[in-house]
Every structure is written in structure tokens, then in C-alpha cells.
Structure 1
Amino acid sequence: MIDHLQEINLIAPWFFPLWVGLTGACIGSFLNVCIYRIPQGRSVVTPRSHCGCGTMIAWYDNIPVLSWFLLRGRARCCGRPFSFRYPAIELLTAALFVACWRLFPPGQAFAGAVLCCIVICAHFIDHDHMIIPDVFTLGGAAVGVLLSLLLPSLHGHTHEIWLVAGLRSGVDAVLGVFIGSALILWVALFAEVLLKKEAMGFGDVKYLGALGAFVGWQGAVFGLFGGAILGCIWFIGAYGWQKLTGRASPVALPAETPEGQPAELGFGVHVPFGPMLGLAALIYFFWAHRMVDAYFAELALLL
């Protein structure tokens, strides 16, 4: 069986990446449903997808990516526009799935694809509602630990007996959950004392723990500080754009007062931090893990 698959890959090296990309686009379509319905407490299974006018969307008008372009961004039934964000999320999911396939062994690639799905959903829900539902935080942490036990390659344990490697990988995941969530919780508590107001939502605490289950404690530490750096860079750029043009930045995140009222971007308002945590975790997973892990290994030797 493996020889047959390798032969297919040699004859048509584009076949498996194409299949993975199409699978990612289809899953991205489902993620759009999750992003829209889960914050409303609605089922992601029923009813079928329907237009804002109430008409059920036919299967041929619900083909990932393609249907949006064929319909020119408008519903067939009533002509009302629907956001480009839908095909963008499908394309993003497809691209991340292909990246996982190309960069990692199968087990780690599968776990990475699950991580990408969690990050995409959490990113857009936090952007839209400034919340991260427990299904992606507590549920994400549980899934991350389970995948770590079953797929030891997620945490780099590939040269041991499977059971031993799974246990070591599971320990790495649990450490990632507790160190990640504890670290951001202490940062939030100190910031609250200094600023005399809530500085970070508890959803971010649980979310970093969930990310830590996939990227380990090193990735969780990188996620916190990397997310803070990304947030500062974004804030400086978006705030500067707002001051220079008098308009919100095209990549602006929503902002609200401590009382929950919409507000212009500025100091003292709340903005979602989850997108920055998720982006930093993906940077670690796809690219920075070798450098970061080597840094912590050197630090451990010095101590």
C-alpha cells in the first residue's frame, strides 16, 4: 500500500497536495459555518446553509471558493452580496493544510491541520465578538493532549517505542497547557493591578493553554511574547493610520470601552488579543520552533 502511494507521488507529485488543498477548502467552508453559528449557540450541523432571505443554498452554489466567484459575490436567489471573507477563509484553510502536508510527517501534519482549524475559528470569532468559546479553548486543550498521546511526532518524539513516545508527548502537551495558561494568567493579574482595571479576558488564558497543548510550553511562551510583539506592531501601524487619515485601518481589529461600547482605536480601549496569540503560535509551529527550542536548550545549560 505504502509503495503504491509512493509510486503515485513519483508519477504525479501534484496529486496529494491538490487533494489536501481541496480537503482544506471544504473544511474551510465548514469553519465558516462554525464561525457564524457557534457564538449564537446554534448547531453547526442543522439546518442546511441558507441565504439571509431564508432560501436554502443549493449544493452547486455552495462549492468552496469557486461558487463565490461564479456568482460574483451575490446570492443567486435574491442578489444580496455576501462577504469575500467566506472564500478567503476557505483559501486560507487550504493553504495551511498544504503547508502542513509539505513541511511535516503525516501525524504531525494532521495535528497541525487541527491546530490551524482551531486558530482560524478562534481568530475570527474573537474579531467579531471579542470572545473565544470554550469549544476552542477547553475543547482545544483536550484535543491537543489526546493528539499528542496518539501522534508523538507532534512534539518531536519519533525515535522511541510508540507507547513511550506517546507518554512523553502527552507530558509535553500537559506542560504546554498549564505553563501557557499560568503564564498569561499571571501577566493578566499583574497588569490588572498596575492598570487598576481588567487587562485581559479569561478566554485568552484558556486559549493559550489550548495552543500550548499543540506547541508545548516553549511554543506557549513564544506565543505570549510573540503575540505581544505582533500586537504592538499592529497597534502602532493601525493607530498611526487612523491619526493620519482619519479612518480606521483596513486591518484594524474592533475596539471597545471597558464597559463594552464600540470605540475608536486608542489607549485604554479593549482589543482582541486572541488573533495575535494564534498567529504567534502558528509562526512557532511552522517556522520558529527550531530556533526557539534551541534557545531554551542553551538557556537550560546556562542555568
Structure 2
Amino acid sequence: MTHAFTEINAAFPWFFAAVVFVFGACIGSFLNVVIYRLPKHESIVSPGSHCACGAPIAWYDNIPILSWLILRGRARCCGRPYAFRYAFVELLTAALFLACWVLFPPAKALCGMVFVGLLLPATFIDLDHLEIPDVFSLGGGVIGVVLSFAVPALHGHHGDFFLLDSFRSGVDALVGLLAGSGLVLWIALLAEAALKKEAMGFGDVKFIGAIGAFTGWQGAVFAIFGGAVIGTVWLALALIWQKLTGRAATVAPRAETPEGEPAALGLGVHIPFGPMLALGGLAHFLFFHDWVAAYFAPLRGLL
């Protein structure tokens, strides 16, 4: 089977990439359902996709990415507009699946696709509701550890002894989970003590543990501090826009008062940190793993 795969890939180098892209778009369509229904505690299986007016959506109007373009963002049944974000999530999922396929061997690429499938819905649900469901944080941590034992290449172990590599990879995942969540927990506790109020939700603590299970402790550390940098830049740009125009930027993160009321960006409000952690973790997984591993190599040698 491996020989047949190699032959097909050599003869048609675009074939598997195209399949992965289409598969990713279909998964993105499903993730849209998860993002919309899960916070409302609705089934993600039934009923089937339907318009806001209640009419079911035909299969030919539910083709990922293409249907939004063909219908110009309006429902065929009633003409209501629906957000570009549905097509964006499908396109983003497809692009990230393709990136995993292009950058990694097949086994690690599949693990990367699972990672993406956990990060994206967690990100958009946190943006919408300022919460990260446990299925993505606790569940993601368990999945990351299990995949690490099953696919040692996930943590860069490629030796000749599978059982030894599997053990090392699993340990890397467990250390990443515990170190990542522990570091964020201490940051949250110290910030709460200094500010005399909650500085970070416990959902972020669990979420970084899931990221660490896929990326190891180095990836968890990178996600925390890389996420902080991303968040700082994002908030700075949003605040500048708000100051210059007198209105919130359309891509600004949602903000709430400590009592849960919508608020403008500023001091003393709650904003989602999960998307920033996800961006940091994804950047490490796709692009910065080798650089971060080399940076932490002296410290790793002491542990």
C-alpha cells in the first residue's frame, strides 16, 4: 500500500494535496455547525443544516466555500444574508489541513489536522462566548497524549525502536500538558493576587494543557508568550482604531465587564485569550518547532 501511495504521489503530486484541501473544507463545514450549536447545547448531528428561517438547506447549497460564493452570501430560500465567516472557517480549515500535509510526513500531518480541528472551534467559540468547552481543552489533552503514544513522530522521535520512541513521545506530551497548564495557572494566580481580581479564566489553563500535549512543553511556553505578543499587537491596533474612529474595529475581540456585560476595549474588561494561545500553538506546530527546540536545547539537556 505504501508503494502504491508513493507511485500515485509521484505521478500526480497534486492529487493528495487536492484531496486534503477538499477534505479540510468539508471538515470546516462541520466545524461551523460545532461552533454554532455546541455553546447552545444543541446536537451537532441532528437536525441537518437549516436556514435561520427554519427551511432545510439543500445539499447543493451546502457545498463548502463554493455555495457562499455562488449564492453571494444569501440564503436561497428567503434571501437572508449569512456571514462570510462560514466560508472563512471552511477555507481556513482547508488551508491549514493542506499546510500540515505539505509540511509533514503523512502520520504527523494527520495528527496536525486533528490539532487544527480542536483549535479552530475552540478559538471561534471563545471569541463569541468567552469560554472554551472542556471537549476541546480536557478532551484535546487526552487526544494529544494518545496520539503522541501512537505516533512518536508527533514529537520528533524517529528511531528504530517504536516502543521506546512511543514512550518518549508520550512523556513529552504529558510534560507539555502539565507544564503548560501549570505555568498558565501560576501566571493567573500571581496576576489575580496583584490585581485583586480574576485575570485569566480557568478554561485557558486547561486549553494550554491541550496545546502542550500536541507540541510539548517548549510549544506550550511559545504559545503562552507568543500568544501574549499576538494579543498585545491585536489589542493595540484595535484600540488605536477605536480611538481614531470612535467605534470598535470589526475584528476586535469581544470584551465584557467582570459582571458579563458587553463593554468597549479598555482596562478592567475581560477579553478572550484562547484565540491568542491557539495562534501561538499553531505557529509553533507549523513553522517554529525546530527554531524553538534549538533555542531550548541547553535547558532540555539539563532536564
Pick the TM interval, shorter chain: over 0.9
Q: Does 1:250 align with 2:213?
A: no
* Structure 2 counterpart of 1:227: 227
Give the C-alpha shift of residue 166 in structure 1: 1.1
Task: State the AA in 2 paired with 1:134.
Answer: D
Give the C-alpha shift of residue 302 in structure 1: 8.0
Number of aligned positions between the proteins: 303
CA distance in 2, matches of 1:26, 1:235: 32
Give the C-alpha shift of residue 10 in structure 1: 1.9
Q: Which residues of structure 2 form unaligned runs of 5+?
A: none
Give the C-alpha shift of residue 133 in structure 1: 0.2
Q: 1:301 to 1:216 in 2, by over 3 A?
A: closer
Q: Secondary structure at the match of 2:264?
A: coil
Give the C-alpha shift of residue 281 in structure 1: 0.3
* Structure 1 counterpart of 2:54: 54
Q: Does 1:191 align with 2:191?
A: yes
Q: Does 1:288 align with 2:288?
A: yes
* Structure 1 counterpart of 2:144: 144
* Structure 2 counterpart of 1:118: 118
Give the C-alpha shift of residue 267 in structure 1: 1.2
Give the C-alpha shift of residue 134 in structure 1: 0.4
Q: Does 1:270 align with 2:270?
A: yes
Q: Secondary structure at the match of 1:108?
A: helix
CA distance in 2, matches of 1:54, 1:273: 34
RMSD: 1.2
List structure 1 segments (4+ residues) > 6 angstroms apart after TM superposition.
Answer: none
Give the C-alpha shift of residue 300 in structure 1: 4.6
* Structure 1 counterpart of 2:171: 171
* Structure 2 counterpart of 1:201: 201
Q: Secondary structure at the match of 1:256?
A: coil
Give the C-alpha shift of residue 160 in structure 1: 3.3
Task: State the AA in 1 paired with 2:275.
Answer: P
Give the C-alpha shift of residue 3 in structure 1: 2.3
* Structure 2 counterpart of 1:14: 14
CA distance in 2, matches of 1:9, 1:301: 39
Task: State the AA in 1 paired with 2:17.
Answer: P
Q: Secondary structure at the match of 1:64?
A: coil
Percent identity over the alignment is: 61
Give the C-alpha shift of residue 250 in structure 1: 2.9
Q: Which residues of structure 1 form unaligned runs of 5+?
A: none
Q: Secondary structure at the match of 2:49?
A: coil
CA distance in 1, matches of 2:301, 2:14: 44
Q: Does 1:159 align with 2:159?
A: yes
CA distance in 2, matches of 1:290, 1:159: 18
Task: State the AA in 1 paired with 2:173.
Answer: A
CA distance in 2, matches of 1:70, 1:227: 36
CA distance in 1, matches of 2:142, 2:35: 20
Q: 1:278 to 1:68 in 2, by over 3 A?
A: same
CA distance in 1, matches of 2:2, 2:174: 33
CA distance in 2, matches of 1:202, 1:300: 28
